[in-house]
Structure 1
Amino acid sequence: MPAPIKPLYTDEHLAGLPVKGGYRLRGLEMTRTETFTDAAFAFAVTLLVVSIDAIPTNFDELLNAIKGIPAFAFSFALLLNFWAGHWKWSRRFGLEDWPSVLLSLLLVFLILCYVYPLKFLSSLFMHWISGGRISGSATLQSPGELHAIFAIYGAGFVMLCLVLAALNLHALRLGDRLRLDPVERISTRSEVGAWLILAAVGMLSVLLALLTPVTRFILPGWAYALLWPIMHVYGVLSGRRIEAVKKSLAPPA
């Protein structure tokens, strides 16, 4: 007979945990892995800022540096999305077993590799939407190079999303030990699905970058425009499923 599953939490411990977003927060105390991950994200943000050898020394250079702020803000917002994904996972589950540590370290590695393609593409994007008024440090020699940067960026985006999906899936597999209730389980499944949808759209962009003619150099970027309607619909459907589970658990009137 298989050994009985030993829960990580007692009834008394779970009853004393604060609840946020339908989850009992099992990870209120920061682990060493989370601390290291937060530090790595902070370092990645510093890599987005103007390098130390490019500190403005006159007014014109200062204006050029200021023009880079929109690209920095755009890059920062995208990094924040991945940081928030790991932060929520840490607070909800408080895991620090070997799979969690290894996946978190992989996330750190990918973020540090992802930051330069992100900075480069953000600079190009801001230059494009501003009609050239916001000049960036990134330059291209041909449309083919833009397809290449979309493929590189998309590969990093896909892998980051898959790691966060894997972290949540790992927590779901430990649901009995974590004593996840039905609402927490369906919410975690929805979280896994959300990251997989993001990864699928990123993969679509990569395929468009690799397979479409270079004359359609903007097409891989437009793939990400699908995210808003898809995630909106998915969020509505997931919310309905969660509410249905809550109603099924509610005591009869």
Structure 2
Amino acid sequence: MILCYGWENRSVAAGFEAALSGILDHYRHLRDLLEEDKLFDQLLQATVEPHWSLRLEDVERLAQYGIMRRISTSEGGHSFRAWSRHFQSFLEKCAREKPLWELWRETETGLRNLIESVCAEKLGPNWQNVLKKRHEKALGENLNKCELLMAKEQKNFGVSASDRLLDYAYPMDLWAIISKEWQHFRGILGRDTGYWNERFTLLSKVRNPIAHIREGSISAHELTTAQGYCEELLACIDE
């Protein structure tokens, strides 16, 4: 293919560029077709991970189409990879390109709304004080810190500052509330606290770099995994 494209210019380099452009156009067209059937996200989950909402029927369809293939693992199970190394690299690139900071902001907002809603319903309108009294050691310091940050911002910016306490909470602050009141969140998030602690720990690790546009300081695997965790949380919240 490279030689065919390069024949007119008598240049292998030009042939390579033209061939690559054609291949990428084919990949993008395939992506558009799969997105129409809501299959592209399933393909990314199956081949790049993490697996958080894989649908068996979609996995089977993608395998039957030949877009991905099963690979036997040493544990006796199997994983999935794209039909070629080059297309696998394209999928990994697509997984990294979704703006993670925007996704995390959406996830943070969803979590804050969820915590406020659940705590107000279960603990009453003064739920912040109830939490501080009930979990003084685990939550008292964090909630007091949020109150200080809110007061400082209101002093500096007046009415334009947020008056929502949880807007000043970081990922592990939010997780601390959820984990201490797990009986109220179990039915929404499912799984167990160990499962979610792992996810919030990673999200906490990547939050500051992505907030300050330093995604390069995070590994590609961590970025991809964090993106999947955000989408997983949003799916639970939106159900």
Q: TM-score, normalised by structure 1?
A: 0.29
Higher relative contact order (CA 8 A, sep 6+): 1
Larger radius of gyration between Structure 1 and Structure 2: 2
- TM-score, normalising length from structure 2? 0.30
